[in-house]
Amino acid sequence: MITLRQHPTEGPRGMAQRRRRLGRRYMGMLFVIPSALILLVVVVAPILSSFGISFTNYSILGGDDWEGTKNYQQLFSDPTFAQALEHTAIYTFVAVPVQTILALVLAEVIAKRYRNRWGAFVRSVLFIPVIASLVISGVVWRALFDTDHGAINAVLALIGVPGPDWFGEPNTALIAVIIVTVWKNTGFFLIIYYAGIMNVPVELYEASALDGAGPIKQLIHITIPQLNRVTALVVILGTIWSFQVFDLVYTLTGGGPGGATTTLVMAIYNAAFQNFNMGYASAMAMVLLLIVLVLSIIQRRVLRERKELQ
């Protein structure tokens, strides 16, 4: 039981203020507890459970014997895991820069030239892919990338370029997935950048315009430095999403052809629900978690150092 001892120099008014502060503190804790419990049950508990399972040969079909680090040792000699890691890395380090730069440029153009209803309409149109169903998006893009009747190959044929079998060739399947990813994510990051640009002081642009700076110089020397924190958020979110990609790849290619688009999460899915090896899948999941944490820390430090240098 908490007792409040009155200070010798503290009067009734001071005691009432202390009680109110203490009441607000505990009231805040009461509001936080439900969210903390949800995070504990939905996030923390599954991670800890998966970490424990990764040291066993647990399977849906039965068996949960302790195997120590055998699953982790197997990862380093598994060509499937190495291939999935390579595909995920390529996918991430291509998709994230492209969608980040594209979102920034589009947000700059809309913010500077279309601060009207037309600009709001453009932002809404570009945001539609973000809320579009992945199943519908996958069906539409598979039709667009169709070898014989797709619109993309038809456009390429008009300029004399033979259209490839986008989802049938290993070299183009991952490119097609990246294109769809950029299309789907750019609208979300555009809104974030647009909100950041709206908070940049207009006086900076006006002063630079008087000095003869054009739109490109303003983008490089004013907009980008002022949006360091926004860029950090966009890059970190984009990286995490890219390493966690599953549904888009599953809808478009199913990991094929020949595993050419199999990502880490898809490899985890295959190990868990096709090979029924939960222990090995959990080990891969823990490695994925570690990779995402390390990349997030590195990105935050690099962007923080860049801001300090400026």
* pTM for the full predicted model: 0.83
Asked if pLDDT for residue 249 goes beyond 60, the answer is yes
Q: How confident is the model at residue 1 (pLDDT cuts 50, 70, 90)?
A: very low
Mean pLDDT over 261-265 rounds to: 93
Question: Distance between CA 264 and CA 146 in Å, rounded?
Answer: 26
Q: What is the pLDDT of residues 49-79, one digit of tens each?
A: 999 999 988 877 666 778 888 999 998 889 9
Tell me which architecture the domain covering 70-309 has in CATH: Orthogonal Bundle (1.10)
Q: What is the pLDDT of residues 66-122, one digit of tens each?
A: 888 899 999 888 999 999 999 999 999 999 999 999 999 999 888 877 766 777 788
Q: What is the per-residue pLDDT for 4? A: 47
Q: What is the per-residue pLDDT for 12? A: 66
Q: What is the pLDDT of residues 220-231, one digit of tens each?
A: 888 888 898 899
Asked if pLDDT for residue 233 goes beyond 80, the answer is yes
With CA atoms as reference, report the closest residue to 108 among 203, 205, 210, 237: 205
Q: Find the length of the chain.
A: 310
What phi and psi, each to the nearest 5 degrees, are found at residue 45? -60, -45
Q: What is the per-residue pLDDT for 309? A: 56
Question: Distance between CA 225 and CA 205 in Å, rounded?
Answer: 13
Question: Distance between CA 238 and CA 229 in Å, rounded?
Answer: 14
Question: Distance between CA 72 and CA 83 in Å, rounded?
Answer: 16
Q: How confident is the model at residue 2 (pLDDT cuts 50, 70, 90)?
A: very low
